[in-house]
Amino acid sequence: MKTIYHNNLPHIQPIGGTFFITFRLEGSLPFQYLKKIRSELNDKIFEIKTSHYLDANQAIYNQRKIFFKKMDWGLDQVIDGTDFLKNEKVAQIVASKIHLYDGELYDLLAYCIMSNHVHLVFDTSIQLQDDEGFNLKNYTQVDEIMRKIKGGSAYEVNRFLNRKGKFWQQESYDHYVRSGKELTDIIWYVIKNPVAARLVENWEDYKFTYWKDCYNV
């Protein structure tokens, strides 16, 4: 079973891992802006690979985090891109689809549904907790989980809006969470996104923010 994929960005998806996913609407970022930040990332990676870095892998990892922050900043700033998720009924369809697989394919830890993108954090180790023993054939990987969430929600939203065509951008940004501290930092980042975007003063006031009650943030 593959655990590393390469599209526009590498996707590292260890079995049973905890993941931070960001997925966005089709047409939510200007092409030129995305092209610019991708070019900056590729230039930095080339520089790292052709220079004498003590830890090239860590340096590349840091550059990918910078790329993500630029992308997320762009999503919060765009005022003329697609923003279907501003519609509360549309956002509720997406939220319901995310909750649908909680307890089955993952342990849902947090999410935030913004006007044009979604941040999602879940732990897939729940799939390893089988009294009959773990069977790799029954394991649903992150890319398939996202197909279920994005495909199912896109179908329902398009029906609700009476529209056709692509709803979500095909590729998602996914990050394998490596430690408990990193997980805490990520959850805070997710639930405070509306505050950073100046939509609310307190994260608790944003309707489509969720974090698992038993997880102490």
Work out the pLDDT band at 18, boundaries 50, 70, 90.
Answer: very high
Residues 129, 100: contact at Cβ < 8 Å? no
DSSP-based three-state secondary structure for 67: helix
Q: pLDDT (tens digit, 9 = 90+) per residue, 132-157?
A: 666 677 889 999 999 999 999 999 99
Nearest CA among 197, 196, 194, 188 for reference residue 207: 194
pLDDT at 5: 42
Residues 168, 25: contact at Cβ < 8 Å? yes
Work out the pLDDT band at 6, boundaries 50, 70, 90.
Answer: very low
